[in-house]
Amino acid sequence: MSTEVSEKPVVKKKEAEGLLSKRRKKLVSDPLNDDNPVTVQILGICSALAVTTQVKPTMIMAISVVAVVAFSNLVISLMRNLIPGRVRIIVQLAVVATLVTIVDQLLKAYFYDVWKVLSVFVGLIITNCIVMGRLEAYAMANKPYDSVLDGLGSGFGYSWVILAVAFFRELLGSASIFGFKVFDAIGIHNFPTNGLMVSPVGAFIILGLIVWVQRARTGYVER
Amino acid sequence: MELINLGIKAVFIENMVLAYFLGMCSFLAVSKKVSTATGLGVAVVFVLTITVPMNWALQEYVLNEGALSWAGEQFASIDLSFLRFIMFIAIIAAMVQLVEMVIEKASPALYGTLGIFLPLIAVNCAILGSSLFMVQRDYTFVEATVFGFSSGVGWLLAIVALAAIRERLKYSNVPDGLKGLGITFLITGLMGIAFLSFVGIAI
């Protein structure tokens, strides 16, 4: 029923296009698989690997990244007509750095132990290519609401990948999930933990395998 | 002697890429040819050697609690450390601009090789990461300079090695789904195992 032609720059006019129309659903769902920021676009890998030895800090990291991407997309999208093209990178960095500082202070206040584990990697959300990439590619040219959805989509796409990596690393490396000893609970007491999974090497290998599985399913071949 | 140890540690044992995954985005994107990889690597070394000491000075004289006491008694109790991220990234972005202009003026030949990579570096996590590690580990000025330089060298080493491997990889028969990104991850993992063997070096 929606006619996209009659859209006016007023956000209130939601009747013109449903709040969750097909196009907007695609904005969120595309980055989950076909256009995943980590496995397809190769963005944001720096932190994807570093924090994933255990599921809990990874979860906090994922939430932080989703929040930062969504809000920075919103802010930049609201400001997109005010920013001169020449200085846009600096403006984007400033906005992202401000949001990351807020996240960092919140984590420090409410999740001090996790904040200790994440240490410098919270700060490194600033240089996470996903954030800058979405600002540059989407928020600079689109309306605020769409930009937030786009940010959420990319954030969730990133989240499931790092959570998957963390799941396997914690399961095989420490034989637990969220610190809960899974194998002890089902009666296998001598499960051999794999030291390689705790070290950085495990993350590379798991991520490589995830990419392989995903590409085998989608049939995408890189030349 | 301690400085040499610090350098060796930053290059091999605590390699920016293989132990901390910093600067992965450009590491994976620009490692298809050895020549471009070397160009980016040298630019990273250059910028790191300048920004880490700069950020050290900023941390020491502006951001730390009580660091502003040189400006007068009334500033002695100010703690600006929550501004760290925004100040560091501003310094890095500004320094990258500055370095770009200086190189363009002083050595057009070098600018020709490094020029296109410099803007990329402002958002390279290895740069910001080194500065944050420098704060976390309480380095002195000289240590910070050595640390900046040698983490850059470590990054250069890793990206050139990966690029060399990927150049040879073109001739091997890799499964379809694993081509490109997948195999690159696995190789980086194997390189990481090789670097793990440096851990034994007594320092």
CA–CA separation, A203 and A53 (whole Å): 8
Q: What is the pLDDT of residues B56-71, one digit of tens each?
A: 988 888 887 777 777 7
pLDDT in the model for residue A19? 63
Give B108→chain A minimum CA distance, Å: 23
Give A160→chain B minimum CA distance, Å: 17
Grade residue A2 by pLDDT with cuts at 50, 70 and 90.
Answer: very low
pLDDT in the model for residue B106? 80
CA–CA separation, A39 and A216 (whole Å): 12
Taking an 8 Å cut-off on Cβ atoms, the answer to whether A126 and B24 are in contact is no
pLDDT in the model for residue A17? 60
Residues 28-47 of A with CB under 8 A from B: 39, 42-47
CA–CA separation, B103 and B115 (whole Å): 8
Give A116→chain B minimum CA distance, Å: 11
Q: Is B153 a residue whose pLDDT tops 90?
A: yes
Q: What DSSP letter does each residue of A167-208 carry, written as one string? A: HHHHHHHHSEETTEEHHHHTT-TT----HHHHSHHHHHHHHH
Taking an 8 Å cut-off on Cβ atoms, the answer to whether A200 and B93 are in contact is no
Contacts of A54 (CB under 8 A, 6+ apart): A117, A166, A169, A170, A174, A179
Determine the average pLDDT of the residues in B8-31. 81
Q: Is A38 helix (H, G, I), strand (E, B) or coil?
A: coil
Taking an 8 Å cut-off on Cβ atoms, the answer to whether B86 and A101 are in contact is yes
Taking an 8 Å cut-off on Cβ atoms, the answer to whether A128 and B124 are in contact is no
For residue A161, CA distances in Å to A36, A39, A57, B36 come to 9, 8, 14, 29
Residue with tokens 């002195």: B140
Q: What ipTM was assigned to the predicted interfaces of this complex?
A: 0.75
Q: Is A15 a residue whose pLDDT tops 60?
A: no
List of chain A residues whose C-beta atoms are within 8 Å of the C-beta of residue B20: 50, 200
Grade residue B160 by pLDDT with cuts at 50, 70 and 90.
Answer: very high
Residue with tokens 């194997």: B190
Q: Are B58 and B33 in contact (CB under 8 A)?
A: no
List of chain A residues whose C-beta atoms are within 8 Å of the C-beta of residue B176: 215-216, 221
Residue with tokens 């002083």: B106
Q: What is the pLDDT of residues B109-121, one digit of tens each?
A: 777 766 666 777 7
Q: Are A167 and A107 in contact (CB under 8 A)?
A: no
CA–CA separation, B103 and A185 (whole Å): 62
pLDDT in the model for residue B71? 73
Residues 125-164 of B with CB under 8 A from A: 125, 127-129, 132-133, 136
pLDDT in the model for residue A7? 42
Q: What is the pLDDT of residues A147-188, one digit of tens each?
A: 888 888 888 888 888 888 888 888 888 777 877 777 777 777
Share the mean pLDDT of chain A: 79
CA torsion sign for B70, B75, B78, B80 is negative
Q: What is the pLDDT of residues A56-86, one digit of tens each?
A: 888 888 898 899 999 999 998 898 888 887 7
Every domain of chain A and the residues it spans: 51-217
Q: Is B137 a residue whose pLDDT tops 70?
A: yes
Residues 119-178 of A with CB under 8 A from B: 119-120, 123-124, 126-129, 132
Cβ pairs bridging A and B (under 8 Å): 141
Residues 55-84 of B with CB under 8 A from A: 82-84
Taking an 8 Å cut-off on Cβ atoms, the answer to whether B186 and A208 are in contact is yes
Nearest Cβ partner for A42 among B28, B86, B123: B28
List of chain A residues whose C-beta atoms are within 8 Å of the C-beta of residue B24: 45-46, 49
Nearest Cβ partner for A211 among B18, B21, B185: B185
Q: Which residues pair with A181 in a beta bridge?
A: A176
By C-alpha distance, which of B169, B156, B166, B195 is closest to B26? B156
Q: Are A95 and A75 in contact (CB under 8 A)?
A: yes
Grade residue B200 by pLDDT with cuts at 50, 70 and 90.
Answer: low
Grade residue B164 by pLDDT with cuts at 50, 70 and 90.
Answer: very high
